[in-house]
Structure 1
Amino acid sequence: MTLEIEQFMCRSDNFGILARDRETGATALIDAPEEHTILEAIERTGWTPSLLLITHHHVDHVEANLALKERFGLTIYGPAKEADKIPGIDWQLKEGDTVTVGGQDALVIETPGHTAGHISYHFAKAGIAFTADTLFALGCGRLLECEPAAMLESLKKIAALPPETTIYCGHEYTESNAQFALSVDPENAALRERARKIEALRSEGKPTLPTTLAEELATNPFLRWHDPDIRRNLGMENAPDVEVFAEIRKRKDTF
């Protein structure tokens, strides 16, 4: 892999990410949840970021924007549709744009749902996608600014990436997501085995990320609205996809 990743915890459950192009040393920070933990990661790795790639406007993803920009002279990229809410933004990104980190190009994918302007970054050559609060391991973001149809279309975009894509998400929610997933897909043997592994990782204080798209397609109910077993468990065998997805999301909201 030519894109080296340093993943670390911020706040209570956010992930911070430094992504470094091995050939050139160029480094990007993905979101800025918390200044001091990011500074610790920079000191630990020796990777000094020149770019900050923002996925959406929520404070737990942009809190340290201005402090880090002042310290490192970062160029801040973020979603055009949320530009007025992204502190220090320099470049406004939309669907199909490309951001270059050294020799690595990231395709910008508009993935609204959690917020109306959320974007994800896909580094195709490295086989990595940063989906922040759109796709989680065994989950998806809460629908705070959009209707279910918008999130469903965003998840379909991510699901269409190569299955071997490594997925980095915005939060460590996987253990609770696994418990919910089992409530709507209890017969899924791959899910049951994954839930056991997740429980073991968390009991040791280890992260459950990154994941892979293939693993999510096999076990994440928010990518499995078409699955006959899930539909039967919901009593929605013949319902439209968006209604099945909306019901799964509704149940997760109150789980």
Structure 2
Amino acid sequence: RILTQIHHKNLVTMIGYCKDGEYLALVYEYMSEGSKLEGQCLSWRQRLRIALESAQGLEYLHKGCNPPLVHRDVKTTNILLNAKMEARIADFGLSKAFEGDNKHVSTTTLVGTPGYVDPEYQATMQATAKSDVYSFGVVLLEVVTGKPAILREVVSISIIQWARQRMAQGNIESVVDARMCGVYDVNSVWKVVEIALKCTEYASTQRPTMTSVVVQLQECIELEEGHIVEDTNDGTYTSGGSDNLNLSYDAYFDDQSIDMDKNNTAFQPEHNGKRVLAMSTGPVAR
């Protein structure tokens, strides 16, 4: 009943269901491009657009649905792309509706995917809209870095801790996916990382709402588009061709919404092409 009430351009549409004896299957629209955030290298413009569209889908769940919904399993593999590379949030199997005036959903069992689960939800067993915000912050870090939510290095480390350590040194280039070859506006990248780190604050009260995240991501896209116009006019470079860039990651992303974690391996980036128009010390003055 809940799924039939969800209608938004950035949520996978349920077409119907199939009941065969004791077996029941839900039928969704076909998303031909799957989850390219986990298996392909995309241009920065594509990544920004996918991030914004995903954020809009979550904002609708929190604000546009009646009753509001908390997804509870936001992750890269639940963001699917259609043939036009338009992003949709998928997999509402763990979604819960807020009842009455409650601002949280109380549960007796912790659900979600390791690396994405809100630590406050883990401590209280109460999922809120800010739990989705936390998970989306992890997704944003994956969008920027091209790395999985949990990095398997000498010691396993979350992408949040990994990014915070490098951002504390003020070196944005050490965080950004090298396969974008420096073709991005450093201000927009820096701003996305800042949004992600705010989303992943331990205390939910310090995290933004999805409405605020949508507004800030729109600003990032404006920065990137303005950057492209500038660079085209002065002959430095044109990034239009990078939208068709499709390179495989050497990363394995967890796709199990259970307590069992798989052995994720962070890919080793390769430097291809010429690095241009990227700075390593922080945003430039605007």
Q: TM-score, normalised by structure 2?
A: 0.28
In terms of fraction of residues, the more strand-rich structure is: 1
Larger radius of gyration: 2
Structure ranking higher on relative contact order (CA contacts 8 Å, 6+ apart): 2
Q: TM-score, normalised by structure 1?
A: 0.30
